[in-house]
Structure 1
Amino acid sequence: MSAVSNTDDVVVRPARHADIPALSHALGRAFLDDPVMAWLLPDAHARRRKLHKLFGALTRHHHLAHGGVEVASVGATIGAAALWDPPGKWRHTTGEELRAAPSMVLTFGTAVRRGIRVTELMKREHPEEPHWYLAVIGSDPQVRGAGLGHALMRSRLDRCDAEFAPAYLESSNPENIGYYERFGFEVTGEIALPDGGPVMYPMWRHPR
């Protein structure tokens, strides 16, 4: 796990189990207007009530155990989080998927089948070369612009460069592509979601 880092007033540190409620609510608010989440859960009120369950389950049942989850804050409140997987650890085990399943159903209801199809498409496009995988990153809109997301990106990408390891993500919002490009990511293709859904953009970053 990385050491605590501080950029101006932003503190980045490894997440603990006790942080899951706060980080999951921050991510839920961050993804409220995300195109893919809006497609999966068209009702904005439902997204506002349920999205945090998705991020809590992903963190609790997969990402946290691999040591790649970091949170950022200004003061005592967690305002942003990044869910990274180290090389070779991006695939969810059958046990992890089963443990997360109840939360997936509570979040998406009948749309959970559509969510499974999205996951399968993402798996199909996922590169096999060892890399750090940024599964999720987001900042609570109330603190967006304060540099929390930038600090989270730099924290892990500095480690990628130190290890000479590439990094990979899928951008679920085309408006964020330019942001990721500033960190060295490049679009490598498109993942078109079924039933007229939005497009996701796989992005790859070579170490520097």
Structure 2
Amino acid sequence: MSEQDLCVAPAGRHDLDAVASLLARAFAEDVPMRAFFRGEGPVAPERHVEVFRGMLLEGPLASGTVDVVRDSTGGIAAAAVWHARGASWHGVSGLRRLADTLHALACYWRGMGAGGLGHAMVLQRAIDAYAPSAPYWYLKVIGVDPDRRGQGLGGLLLSHRLRMADEDDLPAYLESSSRRTGALYRRHGFVPVRSITPWAGGQPWAMWRERVSLRGDGVIHLA
């Protein structure tokens, strides 16, 4: 399938289950992801789906910052979940935010249980401590359908949102969990800045892509 048969567009609320299922398949064997489940062995697919449902409902889906690659049939082949740090619920009413937050908590509960949810929250806070405080685009997660890997879909998603970041003169930040993903991010202008030591499994690094107006001086401007 050629790139002409693909398009990048924001996911809608009707895509919740499809995107969550795709991300669950993409991360089924991911060791760093497994750390959120207390380092267990293989995690039941439905538990992964619930966790990704919760992630999508925590603001990105309602705010229009979940990008998907659709093929000519309308199917979703890849997805990227972004947060605009400082404006995670941009344009979302208070009532919708409350409803989605409660729905997200229920999803996390079903996916992890009470004890597992507490463990995941502690780990997430430890990871978040490595993040800068200034506004930036944050790539929470990006995943490609296992049957569509090697087709450049991850790069297509990155280019789409990073082009928007450049237009707004905003930096971007992410956590890379492996050498393979780190190499992809480097090709799109990210540089590793900190090793994330509390995160078990893989080779997690905090990575930063400088805003356009500061990119030429060779200095990393982390706030």
TM-score range, shorter chain: 0.7 to 0.9
Task: Give the unaligned 5+ runs of structure 2.
Answer: 213-223
Find out whether 1:104 has 2:108 as its counterpart: yes
1:129 pairs with 2:134: yes
Q: Which ranges of 4 or more aligned residues in structure 1 deviate by more than 3 Å? A: 93-99
Task: Note the 1:27-176 alignment, pairs <5 A.
Answer: 27-41=23-37, 42-46=40-44, 48-75=45-72, 76-90=74-88, 98-109=102-113, 110-176=115-181
Shift of 1:99: 4.0
Q: What is the alpha-carbon distance in structure 2 between the residues aligned to residue 38 and residue 59 of structure 1?
A: 18
The alignment of Structure 1 onto Structure 2 pairs a total of residues equal to: 199
Residue number in structure 2 paired with 1:21? 17
TM-score by length of 1: 0.86
Shift in Å, 1:175: 2.9
- Aligned-residue CA RMSD (Å): 2.3
TM-score normalized by the length of structure 2? 0.80
Bigger radius of gyration = 2
Q: Distance in 2 between matches of 1:116 and 1:171?
A: 19
Residues 129/40 of structure 1: CA separation in 2 closer, same or farther (3 Å cut): closer
Superposition deviation, residue 107 in structure 1: 1.2
Contact 2:13 2:62 in 1 (8 A): no
Q: 1:87 offset after TM fit, Å?
A: 4.0
Greater alpha carbon shift after TM alignment, 104-113 vs 70-79? 104-113
Find the aligned partners of 2:109 and 2:84 in 1 and give their Cα distance. 27
Structure 1 residue 90, shift from structure 2 partner: 4.7
Opposite residue 64 of structure 2, the aligned amino acid is G
For residues 31-74 of structure 1, the C-alpha deviation after alignment (integer angstroms, 9 at most, x for no partner) is 1111222233323252x232111111111232112221111122
Q: Does 1:8 align with 2:23?
A: no
Distance 1:84 1:39 in 2: 21
Aligned match of 2:220:
none
Distance 2:179 2:167 in 1: 29
Offset at residue 190 of structure 1 (A): 1.5
SS in 2 for 1:165: coil
Q: Give the fraction of aligned pairs with identical amino acids, expressed as a percent.
A: 31
1:81–1:152 Cα contact (<8 Å) kept = yes
Alignment partners' CA distance in 2, 1:61 and 1:19: 15
CA distance in 2: counterparts of 1:97 and 1:123, whole angstroms: 19
CA shift digits 1:124-172 (9 cap, x unpaired): 1111111111111111111112222111111101111111110001112
Letter in 2 for 1:64: L
Whole-angstrom CA distance in 1 between matches of 2:101 and 2:126: 16
Q: Which protein is richer in strand relative to its size?
A: 1
